[in-house]
Amino acid sequence: MSHGINILMYHQVGPFATLEGEMAKHRSTYCRVDRFAAQMAFLKRFGYTVLSMDQVLACVRGEAPIPPRAVALTFDDGYDNFADHAWPILQKHGFPAMVYLIAGLLGKPSAWFARDNRPTPPLMSAARIRALRAEGCDFGGHSVNHVRLAQQDDATVKAEVAGSKAILEDALGEPMRHFCYPFGSHDMRSVAACAEAGWITATTCERAPATPADDPLTLPRKAIAWGDTLPGVWWKIHVKNTPKHAIIRRAEYD
């Protein structure tokens, strides 16, 4: 077992019946709510320490020790079904969670799926986000328009990264500190843009536990989706990937 912080990456959380229809096209970014509930109960029952991203940063910087069985829970894109299904379960267990928001699409459909002829589930509105924030949910940035930053020109990279921070700070009325690269797509320019904009962490889709060897602006995560059973989630946490500085597996998620 590797010692580090397993930052788990979720997208949508919803009922099995939904997946039987439209959501069948979203298997890579969809976790059944019954499985999600079992996963959270497992973390609670077996004494995992669920960290906020602020706590992750302190551990990665060496300002705090990494607790045994440390995990963090992140949710990309900010779907309405997070509020409907995931958040009540997280509240039940007292777990912190980070939801990365697409600043230019609050309250709108997830339009990028349309390019692949997939359904476009709704994203949370600013009002709903503020309500969840009042209940303790953490939020961060996921660009303005959900584009692959490594494929953009310099001006677009800076606008997507800095604009996300400005829009969300205006919507929530507080500083935004944590960023997530859409699709996991990043390069040296996008990392530099995050630093310049004032983001203090940024997460990727590289699969490994986070350790003090990692740059806080390129933190790895482990994806959890439709096909992950409870034993599969345990295996991803404890066995599947070595620390990022030893081996990196790149992946993109939409």
Side-chain half-sphere exposure of 156, counting CA atoms within 13 A: 10
Query: What is the tens place of the pLDDT at every residue in 34-92?
Result: 999 999 999 999 999 999 999 999 999 999 999 999 999 999 999 999 999 999 999 99
Q: Which two tokens stand for residue 131?
A: 């309500």
Res 117: pLDDT = 82
Res 241: pLDDT = 67
The span from the CA of 73 to the CA of 167, in Å, is: 23
Check: CB of residue 203 under 8 Å from CB of residue 162.
no
Res 249: pLDDT = 46
50: helix, coil or strand? strand
Res 27: pLDDT = 74
pTM for the whole structure: 0.93
Check: CB of residue 10 under 8 Å from CB of residue 74.
yes
CATH architecture, domain 5-240: Alpha-Beta Barrel (3.20)
The span from the CA of 228 to the CA of 250, in Å, is: 19
| Angle ∠(217,96,190) on CA atoms, nearest 5 | 15
Residues of the chain with pLDDT under 50: 1-2, 245-250, 253-254
